[in-house]
Structure 1
Amino acid sequence: MKAASHVSLYMVHEGFDERTYRDDIALARTQEELPLGRTVKRVIIKRKFSRKAQLQVAGWGLFDEARYLERSKLQWLQQSFKPEQACSTYALAPGMMCVENDIHKRPSLGDSGCGLIANFVQQIGLVSFRHSGLKHIVIYMNVSYYYGWIQRGARQLICTKV
């Protein structure tokens, strides 16, 4: 079974700002259903999540940014929340949250859009960008913040004839 599928329709958040990355979230509809199995799993999306959860992120981004070397297989990392008051120093827009990482164990170039997963089942974030001066600080879009938009958008994408 192939794991890749073509996107037939997509929707970018109407408030997305390329300069500030505000509302950096989109939905896609694939031409075929994705084959669920050992390597493709469903995730739960809820209106809330626990900041005490174990966090993981997986992606295909570069493993060596200096030499621009790509990964040949999916990589994953443990992540940890930065205290909420510490994130406030970064002037984040509503819907953004920050996660602190080891400087050598963090999402890389090419990982944008990858899911931040809590306790291996709940998607709580999407990699948006790394803080410009602090490469170990990763900014995520808070999926729970966008719960209503995701619901409305998914309904619209599903009901639209292609």
Structure 2
Amino acid sequence: MKNKKLTYFLMPLVILIWGYLIYKIVLGFSGNDSPINITQKRTESIETQKKYIEKQDTFSLEKIHRDPFLNILYRVNKTKTAKKQFQKEKLEWPSVIYKGLVSNVKGKKSIALIKIEGKQFFFQEGENNMDCKLIFVSENKITLLYKSKKKSFVKQ
């Protein structure tokens, strides 16, 4: 019963809204509009554009001698001095060959077998030998630190 009352109320409202929309569409397509004189509109727009065209300002930029936000004066270097170029010393790494990894299943310790300058060594992570420190160990790769330079080696 409640739904019938709502339907009887909403049905005329829907018909009124659709009738208004159809009326507006038909009114829009009717031929009661007067023709527009195109030449008159063009001359008016050209005249209004001429009013807004002004002579362009010319200006030049000056060098900035201070920072406006930090209030710091810039230094002007008049003469350029030649910078001394330091040659980096090339670090000669000893011959390093990564032979493999030995690991204990229970203790989970990994020991790397590394050949440095023809001598074989057993390394654990963090150990030093012949100025080489072992940083990282995996099955296929190690990373050594020699005179504060890092280098990675793959298994051979």
TM (norm. structure 2) is 0.23
TM (norm. structure 1) is 0.22
Bigger RCO (CA 8 Å, 6+ sep):
1
Which structure dedicates a bigger proportion of its chain to helix?
2
